[in-house]
A and B are shown apart, each in its own frame.
Chain A
Amino acid sequence: MTPDLQALANLDRVIHEPARLMIMTVLYAVTESDCLYLQRECGLTQGNLSSHLAKLEEANYVTILKTFKGKYPLTICSLTKNGREAFHDYVRKMRYVAGATSGRNGNKR
């Protein structure tokens, strides 16, 4: 296996799933947001979002905090330090692969 293909095999599968990648991208861009905002931004149903958030929380990429703003309940999600690093690493690997396929990594074919 070439190093380029090896990079693909080492991609983080928790993040690689499209819905979770959307959630990670949104949470990477904001400090924190609630589930309603994530649902609308990612176009997911409540159940779908919950299951993906649970997987991300299990991987210690996301923290979920049930709190109140005034008397209104909010479920606030934010990326952990681990999650931020994992997303960073995922993007770096994807760029490497994309660069290899367009010949920018200097690979002779």
Chain B
Amino acid sequence: MRETIQPVAEERDRVSRYRDVDGLPYLFTGLTIVLWGISFSIPSEILSLGRLGQILSGLGSFMPIWLTFTQGRLIEWTKTRLTYPRTGYVAPDPQARDWGFPEFLIFLPVFLVFGSMPFFASIDRYFFRWVLPVSLVFPVVGALMRRKALASEFVYVLGPILLGLICWLVFRPQKPFVFLFILIGTILAFVGFIRLFHYLWQNPRTQT
């Protein structure tokens, strides 16, 4: 019954697009990625301080981790103040809200590969050569498993990575992965900001 009624299927598509219409998911995801990038750049400078440096880098990593796990609540809090009074509230699809195995695969590079980057980079000097191909495999497999949202996953995951790669090839910075992270985050946050601005412009708050 779920996919067979055309208007219902179309409405479900509209609802899934409606969750992104204000750009807030892009904005918060982008800011989180920027913070991850900043936290990765911290260890190389302060690890020379010994144990104190390790403690400081651990504390520096706490902020992006906290933001990653509370992002949903922060987005909802902001939507309550900006989106729902303007264009109405609709509950997210419970199937989309639950994190399943495909979503886990999509974000595995962020949580595992990039999260452990400072450690692996210190023990394997060729780490940067294999981390990128590995990190690309997981999102692709995850997106393929989650066929329905294939297009949006590619936009979210592969699009910024490819854009970042192109910029990396052009600029060739000293710290490529930190640069890549900050660049990807900035692009996503910028897209989110533009969408939010456009949304607020199109939907002025009505007095009730």
Contact = CB atoms under 8 A, between A and B. Distances in A.
B119 to A, nearest CB: 41
Contact of A34 (B14, B81, B88, B94): B88
A34 B89 contact: yes
Interface string A62-98: 0000000110101010000000000010010000000
B15 interface: yes
- Interface bin, chain B: 20 to 34
A40 to B, nearest CB: 6
A37 B90 contact: yes
B89 A74 contact: yes
B93 A76 contact: no
B85 interface: yes
A1 interface: no
B80 interface: yes
B77 interface: yes
A53 interface: no
Contacts of A39: 88
Given A70-B80, A70-B81, A33 B11 contact: no
A32 interface: yes
A28 B3 CA distance: 12
Interface residues of A, number: 23
A29 B88 contact: no
Interface string B1-45: 100010111011011000000000000000000000000000000
Contact of A37 (B9, B80, B87): B87
Interface string B75-88: 00100110011011
A91 B5 CA distance: 8
A5 interface: no
Nearest to A32: B91
Given A36-B88, A36-B89, A70-B77, A30 B1 contact: no
A72 B77 CA distance: 11
Contacts of A37: 87-90
A7 interface: no
A26 interface: yes
Nearest to B86: A36
A33 B91 contact: yes
Given A33-B90, A34-B89, A88-B1, A74 B84 contact: yes
A91 B4 CA distance: 10
Q: Which 9 A-B pairs have the closest CB atoms?
A: A37-B88, A36-B88, A29-B11, A31-B91, A33-B90, A34-B89, A32-B91, A29-B8, A29-B12
Interface of B: 1, 5, 7-9, 11-12, 14-15, 77, 80-81, 84-85, 87-94
